[in-house]
Amino acid sequence: MNYAFEVIRKTRVNVLKMVDGLSIEQLNKIPEGFNNNLIWNIGHLIAAQQNICYKRAGLHSDIDEVFFNTYKSDTKPEGNVEEGGFEQIKRLLVSTIDQLELDYNSNAFAGYKPWTVRYNFEINNIDEAIAFLPFHEGLHTGYIMALKRALNR
């Protein structure tokens, strides 16, 4: 499982590198043809991981409910995020994976409830949930790349 955590961490670090140097206005911009922005996609990585791992196991999330409800699936940006909000997202992007690894190693996910994600994957336990995360993170990394390219049109 160590490799899965390494893949997720590297993906998230690369996402931060992709958006490094962009202004808060660029991060908040929803380009034509898109229904969300760079900040939403990055925040969504955090909310989705918390849902897939913690909420499905009946555990308390590492993020507050307002953050979760802002970036969970089937939402879209409802306004601009300020610089301080983006700094929080950047911190959470790394700290939530560190906490997930600690919680995994302490067997905190014994109560995981099986479910089927919208991509037709069955997830039966925390090992499968963590194995699914790189797929989801890669999907949104692709969106992030497309959004960044659209900013330059």
Superfamily of domain 2-151: dinb family like domain (1.20.120.450)
2-31 pLDDT, tens digit per residue, is 899 999 999 999 999 999 999 999 999 999
Predicted confidence at residue 119, as pLDDT, reads: 86
16-22 long-range CB contacts below 8 Å, 24 or more apart? 16/90, 16/93, 18/141, 18/144, 18/145, 18/148, 19/144, 19/148, 22/148, 22/151
Residue type at position 16: L
- For the chain, give every domain's residue range: 2-151
Residues of the chain with pLDDT under 50: none
Whole-angstrom CA distances from 120 to 27, 115, 117, 123, 140 are 31, 10, 6, 9, 17
Residues 27 and 78: beta-carbon distance below 8 Å: no
pLDDT of residue 24: 98
Distance CA 64, CA 144 (A): 24
Percentage of the chain beyond pLDDT 90 is: 93
Name the pTM for this structure: 0.96
CA atoms within 13 A on the CB side of 61: 18
Give the pLDDT confidence score for residue 62 in this predicted structure. 82
Q: Which sign does the torsion angle of CA 44, 88, 66, 50 carry?
A: positive
